Structures are given as C-alpha cells and as structure tokens.
Chains A and B, each alone.
Chain A
Amino acid sequence: MVEINREDILDLLCRRLASFANTEQEITPETNLITQLAIDSIKLLNLIMELEDHFDISIPLNALTDVVTVYDLANLIYRIKSDSK
C-alpha cells in the first residue's frame, strides 16, 4: 500500500505530465489539463489507468467531469485513496 499525501501526488503528476507539455512549459497545480497540455481524451484515459495502477485505486469516469487542473486531479486521487483506506 502506497502511503501518500496531496503534495506527493501533485509532485508525481507534474513530473508525469511533463511529457504532454512543450519544452519551456512549466507544469503547475493550476495548469489546465485540456487547454494547456497536448492531451486528448484517449491519452487522458490511458494516463488515468496508469495512475490507477500506481495508487491502487479506481477513478470513476463521472468523477473526472469536475477535473480541470492538475490540482483537481491530485485532489481527486487523494480523496479516493483516503476513502479506500
């Protein structure tokens, strides 16, 4: 079981999302996943599955409708992970 806090999740997401950004772009908690990164719906779903495996959680698709920024995604993962304990 991976013990983790919200900051660790944010840090991991920022590093992981760098591959979807252009070279000079810095990923911050406020970065918009759809409009500021080159990430389409298929890439996003694949990324979600990767994160689900990493954190050993399942993220419902309907919960993603409220996710806009990197912080929103980190917060969602943290909430699901906390609830699953």
Chain B
Amino acid sequence: MNLLEKLDAAAAARKAQLPTGLSAFGIPIEEIYSPTEAKIGERRILLLGTNNYLGLSFAPECREAAHEAIDKEGTGTTGSRMANGNYSGHRALEMEFAEFYQCRSCIVFTTGYQANLGTISGLIGAGDVALIDGDSHASIYDGCILSGADIIRFRHNDMADLEKRLRRLGERSKNTLIIIEGIYSMLGDQAPLAEIVNLKNAYGSTLLLDEAHSLGVLGETGQGLAEKTKLSSEVDFITGTFSKSLCGIGGYCVSNHPQLDQLRYVSHPYIFTASPSPATIAATRVALRLLRNGSKLREQLWKNAQQLYSHLKMVGYQVGPEPGPVVATILDNPQQALALWNGLLENNIYVNLILPPAAPEGKSLVRCSVNAAHTAEQIEYVCQTFSKLYPSII
C-alpha cells in the first residue's frame, strides 16, 4: 500500500464510522454571536462544546486591547522570540504569569500544544523517563515522543499503578518526569494531586502539571488544581493554555526552578516558530486580569456545571466520575454517541463527539462544556433535551 492508498484506507474507515449527515468533526460555524450562541447551517445553535469556561470571548476590555495592539504594533510579529519577535508585550505577559503563580519565571509559547511540546522536550531526553497518565492529552504524548525519553503510561488516576511503576524504575525514578493534568479533558475529572506529590517526593522525581482545563476554573484566583489543593510549591513545572478560559491562543510554562530559562535555548517548539501576535498578547494580558478577579464567574460556572451534571446523572446517563465544567456522557458504542450528538444538534445544541480511539476504554463520549455565560434557562433547556432524547438513545 503506497502513501496515498494508506490515506484512502483511513478515510474509508472514518466514513464508515460517520456515514451520513453533518460532520461532527470540523462542523462549519457560519457566524458566532456570543460566548454561547452561533449560526450553524441556517440555525441559531446553543454552544455547549467550547472551552470558553469563563465566557470571556467577547469581553469588551479584551477586544479593545486587541484593537489597540493591532493599531500600534501591527497584525503579526513575523519572527521567533529568539529573533525579531520578542516584543515588550510578550515579556510583560511572562512577568504577569510569573507574578500570578508567585513563581520565579515564565515562558510564553505560541500555542498551548507547543507549551507542552516545548517544555517536555526541553526537560527530558534520551535515557530519561516520561511517566504519564494514560488519559493524557495528545500534546503530552507528542512532547514525550519529541523528547526521545522512554514513555511509560500509568492507569488513569490510579495511584497504586503509579507507585508500582516508580518502584520498577529504581534509580531511574530520579530522572523521571511525572506528567499529569489538573482536569482531564475527556471525562472532566481531576488528578489526585496530594498523593502524586507524595509519590514524586518519595521517589525523587520531577512533576509537571498541565492546567489547560483547570486554569480559571479551580482555585480561589483561578490558578488551577495546584492552588485549589494548596500544593503549588510542590509542583515543579506548570503548563497551560490561553485558548480556554483566556479566550486567546498561546501557552505558558511557569516554574521556580531557575533552569526553566534554559529551555529558551534548547526547545525547538519555542525557538522555531513565530511569537504570538500583538493582539493575542494584549487580549490575553487583560483576560488574565479578569480571570484573577473572576470569582463570580467561577461561581456561576460551577453552578451551571453542577446543574447539568446532576441532571444527566439523575436521568440515567453514565457521566464522568465528578462534576466539573467538562460534563462527559459516556456511551457504549459510536452509534449511540452519534445518535445523541445528532439529536442534540436537531434540537439546536452543539456538543463535542468523541469516538474511539480518542475516548478512553473503547467507549464513546458526548462531551458538554458549560461556561459562566450560559444562562439558567439555557442550561435548563439542555437538561430537558437530554431527558427527551434518553429513551431513544439508551
């Protein structure tokens, strides 16, 4: 089979899984009206499948900052941070992130994906070990592959399995980077950070926590799981993204280890790409201020999350292990998931469809993401629609 024939075979398998109708992957959004509504096809659709957790995508302060940055600094930097793309805004945002996390330093990356790729591949290399949760995001897997280190998975959130694998490593545990996430994107559950910190200390390993989905969502000031559990000083490296609660695009790594700065000189995903645009940086700086002072937004977000999670559970849907902004409905097979996804869209609700192998344990997911801008009426409408569809799906 030649290269193109292999792609044809993959395309045929994909079409067999999703035979008809509007494609669940890459659905065309014609117009975006607000953090909760868009035009898909000819209809006004309620958005319940975005990562806009605090609902800040239309915040007037962020839009104004972005406009101003374009007028003053242009549309793009046209260069890497290591060359001509190192503007005062990039450096200011790094200082603001470091101050927010009360860390020594921060590196800003062009995307959240690159933040993990660049941090992981800069920290570990051939002969080292990446010990990662089995449900880790693709950016973590890809960062580990790029690093050349040995990649060992432990069962999702299973501390006995993590300890077993650390024990098996022997002395190599000291050259091991344990990688976990604050909130896992598939099931919306949180890592048991206190137990993980105990294990990493016992075995002399290093810990990287990806707060991509927990930034803005957990902790008093929205730092994430480390702040919520009061364990920030025990985590060696924290990565995150601008593309969820901060409604931009970009990523970061913060740390108290002075060695973080060395990553600027060895990390290809940092060096060999253009730096974020001035508008992105300006909007993100304002969004970070809103996030820090966003306790009311977090309160509303959690109220919405609790309402949807409790309702789905009460109706009889199998949901993730704990409530949170990511509310996953777990289905036994892709046909059920596709039927539910289609049923919701026919009722003007957009959610995410996740099929094997992307979903854990061979299951399929219909994943809802609530945000602080959803009204009580919108969440109630979603609950009633899930109830209405239940008999025809399960």
> What is A's interface to B at a CB cutoff of 8 Å?
40-43, 45, 49, 56-63, 84
B357 touches A42 (CB 8 A): yes
Contacts of B155 in A (CB 8 A): 49
Contacts of B152 in A (CB 8 A): 58-61
Tell me the smallest distance from the CB of A83 to a CB of chain B, in Å.
Answer: 10
- Assess A58 versus B357: contact at CB under 8 Å? Given A42-B362, A49-B155, A63-B150: no
- Assess A84 versus B168: contact at CB under 8 Å? Given A40-B357, A42-B362, A62-B145: yes
Q: Is B356 an interface residue (CB 8 A)?
A: yes
Our pick among A42, A56, A84 for the contact of B356 (Cβ within 8 Å) is A42
Q: Is B169 an interface residue (CB 8 A)?
A: yes
Contacts of A40 in B (CB 8 A): 357
**CB-CB nearest in chain B for A65:** B145
14 extra interface residue pairs, beta carbon distance < 8 Å, beyond A41-B357, A42-B357, A56-B168: A40-B357, A42-B356, A45-B134, A45-B153, A58-B152, A58-B168, A58-B169, A59-B152, A60-B129, A61-B152, A61-B153, A62-B151, A63-B150, A84-B168
Tell me the smallest distance from the CB of B349 to a CB of chain A, in Å.
Answer: 29
A56, B168: Cα distance in complex, Å: 8
Which residues from 148 to 197 on chain B have a C-beta closer than 8 Å to any C-beta of chain A?
150-153, 155, 165, 168-170
A42, B150: Cα distance in complex, Å: 20
Mark interface residues in B344-388 (1 if CB within 8 Å of A CB, else 0).
000000000000110001100000000000000000000000000
> What is B's interface to A at a CB cutoff of 8 Å?
129, 134, 145, 150-153, 155, 165, 168-170, 356-357, 361-362
Tell me the smallest distance from the CB of B317 to a CB of chain A, in Å.
Answer: 22
Contacts of A43 in B (CB 8 A): 362
**CB-CB nearest in chain A for B165:** A58
A61 touches B357 (CB 8 A): no
Tell me the smallest distance from the CB of A75 to a CB of chain B, in Å.
Answer: 17
A56, B165: Cα distance in complex, Å: 9
A sample of 12 cross-chain residue pairs with beta-carbon separation below 8 angstroms, ordered by A number, consists of A40-B357, A41-B357, A42-B361, A49-B155, A56-B168, A58-B152, A58-B165, A58-B168, A58-B169, A61-B151, A84-B168, A84-B170
A50, B168: Cα distance in complex, Å: 15
Contacts of B362 in A (CB 8 A): 42-43
Tell me the smallest distance from the CB of A33 to a CB of chain B, in Å.
Answer: 16
Contacts of A84 in B (CB 8 A): 168, 170
Contacts of B145 in A (CB 8 A): 62
Contacts of A61 in B (CB 8 A): 151-153
Contacts of B356 in A (CB 8 A): 42
Our pick among B134, B151, B170 for the contact of A60 (Cβ within 8 Å) is B151
Interface centre among A49, A57, A60 (most CB of B within 10 A): A60
- Assess A62 versus B168: contact at CB under 8 Å? Given A41-B357, A42-B362: no
- Assess A57 versus B151: contact at CB under 8 Å? Given A41-B357, A62-B145: no
Tell me the smallest distance from the CB of A44 to a CB of chain B, in Å.
Answer: 10
**CB-CB nearest in chain A for B151:** A61
Contacts of B169 in A (CB 8 A): 58
Contacts of B361 in A (CB 8 A): 42
Tell me the smallest distance from the CB of A28 to a CB of chain B, in Å.
Answer: 24
A84, B129: Cα distance in complex, Å: 15
B150 touches A60 (CB 8 A): yes
Tell me the smallest distance from the CB of B18 to a CB of chain A, in Å.
Answer: 17
- Assess A57 versus B150: contact at CB under 8 Å? Given A40-B357, A41-B357: no
Tell me the smallest distance from the CB of A46 to a CB of chain B, in Å.
Answer: 8
A57, B164: Cα distance in complex, Å: 9
A40, B17: Cα distance in complex, Å: 15
Contacts of B170 in A (CB 8 A): 84
Interface centre among A42, A45, A59, A63 (most CB of B within 10 A): A42
Tell me the smallest distance from the CB of B150 to a CB of chain A, in Å.
Answer: 4
**CB-CB nearest in chain B for A53:** B164
**CB-CB nearest in chain A for B153:** A61
A59, B170: Cα distance in complex, Å: 14
